[in-house]
Structure 1
Amino acid sequence: MLLPFSLDTYDQRYQRVLERMKQRDLDVLLVNLPDNLSYLCGHESIGYYWYQALIIAPGLEHPVLITRISEKASVDETSILRGTIYYRMHFDDPIQMLVEFLTKHGLAAKRVGIEMQAFNIRPAHWDRIKEVLPNALFHDASNIVLEERLVKSPEEVSFQRNAARIADHAMQAAYGALRPGVTEIEIAGVISKAMADVGGEYPAFPVMVASGPRTTMIHGLPGHRPLVAGDLVTMEFAGVYHRYHAVLMRTAIIGRRPRRLGDVADCVKEATEAAIASAAAGQLTRVPKHVADEKLNRLDLARRRVHRVGYSIGLGFPPAWVEAMALEDSDPYTLCESMSFTIEPNLSLPDEGFGYKMGSTILCTAGGGESLSGLDHDLVVID
């Protein structure tokens, strides 16, 4: 088996999830998110666009996965799973197989936790589950595993530090490739190759590169536009190590920076560094947001922020690297040591023809946030 963590680590995670289920009075938990499944048993595959579910219940000897027969080699090679139910797509009904298993173990009429917010639960799956389990009591258990993942172990932190090193290397390579005539797609290719050259894995979201007026797009994917002198270029991507992500966002300009852009860049740097410093253990998650907005409002820029100031990050698979926590007023969490999250007070100013990205992955400590990136927060000027 190819496992990033010890068998004891997976067992400890499983036991903590069972305890969370007990606190929620759940008899069964169906885990669908691929990152949650990987967290609990190591399984790594991109076959999750077909139905799969990890069945967890206190009375079971071990968790049981339902997945396609084509995933068997991946299950054997990348997971600790000892009980797997395989189905043949186009021939077998995985939901019926789920019902048969729950019925066999006396769980078909119990309190069942469902990851309602899992992107790979289709409406047809949900309708079918309700149809064939009419006596079950369903509860939204979307955050049970996600909340367990918020505080990172020392080994997880080391993986994210490696991921941040990979991202820094790729950003430096991108700076070296920025020049008139090079397309956004070519820059994205430089970034991807640079990450692979130092051991980076595929990220949960594509490399983002936007230039000129396209920088107003907060999630601007690279196009065929060639760079020209005077262009602003925004870049966002994540280094990945053992599926643990460290996101990095920076902005560069080809040539001299105009005064207005320089003022905005300096203000964003001030907001970013103040927010990082405020992200100490014991603070409410909304604190870095308010600190960043206060600094941005020196130039009336908080209202131009079109994205959360940050969110928790760690283990990830496509289509996203986002975890449960957000640095927002509505978020219920308190920052704890060894939580990892982004801080990214990104701006979009379409009326001025540009946007601005600045962000890194941060580790919460007792004294404030620590940026896992070794790069500074200045606008990079490409002469």
Structure 2
Amino acid sequence: MTSITSAVPLTDLPFPKTEYERRQRKVFEAMERANLDALIVTAHGHLQYLSGYDGRGAYFMPFPLILGPGQKLTFVVREYELGSVRPDSCVEEIVPYTEQSDFVPVCADAIRRFGLKGRRIGLELGCWNLAPADVSALQVQLSDFKFADATRLVATVAAVKTEMELEVMRFAMELTDVAVRVFQQSLREGITEAEVAANIESEVEKAGGTVRATSSTLLFGERTKFSHGSPKRHPIRKNEPAFMELGGVKNGYACGLVRSAVLGRHAETELLHDLSIEALEAVISAIKPGATAGEVDAAGRGVLKRHGHPEFLNHRVGYQTGINWVERGNISLEPGATDILEPNMTLHMPMILCGESGYLIGTSEHVLVTEHGAEILSRTPHTLYRA
């Protein structure tokens, strides 16, 4: 097996190398608490958090980042992707494989080089990008090792943001606010979802960033009954609702928002939106250090129960944010969740309600957990916009 060390200057990293080293130290501390001797990171958001590389090339097979105390971080990647991994990663030790059949033996060999025979290795079993076949094949190759589920380890570390990260997220939210204003100002009878999405992308680009508009939700009229529907050449008519959920992006950090509007009047949209505001504000009031994710979720559901419509909310009230819009395995604000909120966590609460006719309407906020509660990052009101 050949080890390749990058000599390319680290000019493409969004943060200083010292920031990545700080993150890695925090993960090593978490590994020690979890009694892990090594950790294999495969979730794309976690790879980007720890190394700078976004994992885009790993659609074919995992690109594991292997961490072991006292050892150099090691990336196992496809040889074809070396040209991208080198400049976009702070990891110097890169081990390549060529074909899919090479992945497991090369990865297993890289782990053995850590000298951890018989030790405990953490896998992100509850995250994307690690297939059951990958896990079983590694277990065969490394039968003398003990494997443990480390799905939440990197997520828990990444949940608490540094000032450097928060600066990036605040800029991303400025881009989102631009997108919201364009969404609202573009609404007129006959304009299509696709045209509004194009307006948003153009104005956000002028503001110096990007927005996930065409890949996010932007819907008019009866199409607001679709969950996560992308914009089409579908026009809005008088007395119809409009719905968007999108976010500005900076250095991989996305700050999403939900906003709704009505062109004229629409009784069901107005009812759902009034309820969503009340529930959202109850959720925000419940956010503080020491609160559990489940308690925050219960605050929103309690509002709907008092109004006799608990069935209007058929999903969690929010989730941890940061690199990537969401990452499977991150903190989820859902019934019974026991995760404890800490200062400098960032959360998105999409309070989207499903009405009796199937309309999905609501609002959201993206907040920073502070010592005293929650700071709302957006500057656009979460009220219903009337065009």
Equivalences for residues 1-383 of structure 1 within 5 A: 1=10, 2-51=12-61, 52-60=63-71, 62-89=72-99, 93-201=102-210, 203=212, 206-258=215-267, 260-316=268-324, 320=326, 324-349=330-355, 351-382=356-387
Q: CA–CA distance in 2 between the matches of 1:106 and 1:69?
A: 24
Q: CA–CA distance in 1 between the matches of 2:111 and 2:291?
A: 42
8 A contact 1:205–1:321 mirrored in 2 = no
Give 1:21 deviation, angstroms. Answer: 1.3
Q: CA–CA distance in 1 between the matches of 2:194 and 2:274?
A: 28
Q: CA–CA distance in 1 between the matches of 2:260 and 2:308?
A: 20
Give 1:205 deviation, angstroms. Answer: 9.0
- TM-score (ref. length: structure 2): 0.91
CA shift digits 1:138-158 (9 cap, x unpaired): 111111111101111111111
Q: CA–CA distance in 1 between the matches of 2:173 and 2:293?
A: 22
Q: CA–CA distance in 2 between the matches of 1:245 and 1:325?
A: 16
Deviates more, 1:226-235 or 1:207-216: 207-216
8 A contact 2:279–2:301 mirrored in 1 = yes
Q: Is the partner of 2:316 in helix, strand or coil?
A: coil
Query: Residue type of the partner of 1:66?
Result: V
Q: CA–CA distance in 1 between the matches of 2:104 and 2:197?
A: 40
Q: CA–CA distance in 2 between the matches of 1:261 and 1:10?
A: 45
What RMSD, in angstroms, separates the aligned Cα atoms of the two structures? 2.1
Query: Residue type of the partner of 2:110?
Result: F
Deviates more, 1:210-219 or 1:234-243: 210-219
8 A contact 2:168–2:251 mirrored in 1 = yes
Q: Is the partner of 2:342 in helix, strand or coil?
A: coil
Q: Is the partner of 2:335 in helix, strand or coil?
A: coil
Give 1:366 deviation, angstroms. Answer: 2.3
CA shift digits 1:147-188 (9 cap, x unpaired): 101111111111111111100101111112222222222222
Q: Is the partner of 1:268 in helix, strand or coil?
A: helix
CA shift digits 1:306-329 (9 cap, x unpaired): 221111111117xx4566111223
Query: Residue type of the partner of 2:279?
Result: A
Relative to structure 1, the CA distance from residue 281 to residue 105 in structure 2 (aligned partners, 3 Å threshold; closer, same or farther) is closer
Query: Residue type of the partner of 2:353?
Result: L
- TM-score (ref. length: structure 1): 0.91
Q: Is the partner of 2:330 in helix, strand or coil?
A: strand
CA shift digits 1:79-129 (9 cap, x unpaired): 211110112236x60211112222333235421111112211123222221
CA shift digits 1:339-360 (9 cap, x unpaired): 10012221011x3352212012
8 A contact 1:239–1:245 mirrored in 2 = yes
Query: Residue type of the partner of 2:319?
Result: Y
Q: Is the partner of 1:367 in helix, strand or coil?
A: coil
Q: CA–CA distance in 2 between the matches of 1:178 and 1:47?
A: 38
* Structure 1: runs of 5+ lacking an equivalent: none
Query: Residue type of the partner of 1:306?
Result: N
Query: Residue type of the partner of 2:380?
Result: L
* Structure 2: runs of 5+ lacking an equivalent: 1-9
8 A contact 1:271–1:296 mirrored in 2 = yes
Give 1:218 deviation, angstroms. Answer: 3.2
Q: Is the partner of 1:346 in helix, strand or coil?
A: strand
Relative to structure 1, the CA distance from residue 204 to residue 231 in structure 2 (aligned partners, 3 Å threshold; closer, same or farther) is closer
Give 1:215 deviation, angstroms. Answer: 1.6
Query: Residue type of the partner of 2:315?
Result: H
Q: CA–CA distance in 1 between the matches of 2:139 and 2:231?
A: 42
8 A contact 2:65–2:76 mirrored in 1 = yes
Q: CA–CA distance in 2 between the matches of 1:206 and 1:305?
A: 24
Give 1:261 deviation, angstroms. Answer: 3.7
Relative to structure 1, the CA distance from residue 112 to residue 165 in structure 2 (aligned partners, 3 Å threshold; closer, same or farther) is same
CA shift digits 1:17-40 (9 cap, x unpaired): 112112222111111011111111
What is the number of equivalent residue pairs in this alignment?
A: 376
8 A contact 2:247–2:255 mirrored in 1 = yes
Query: Residue type of the partner of 1:57?
Result: G
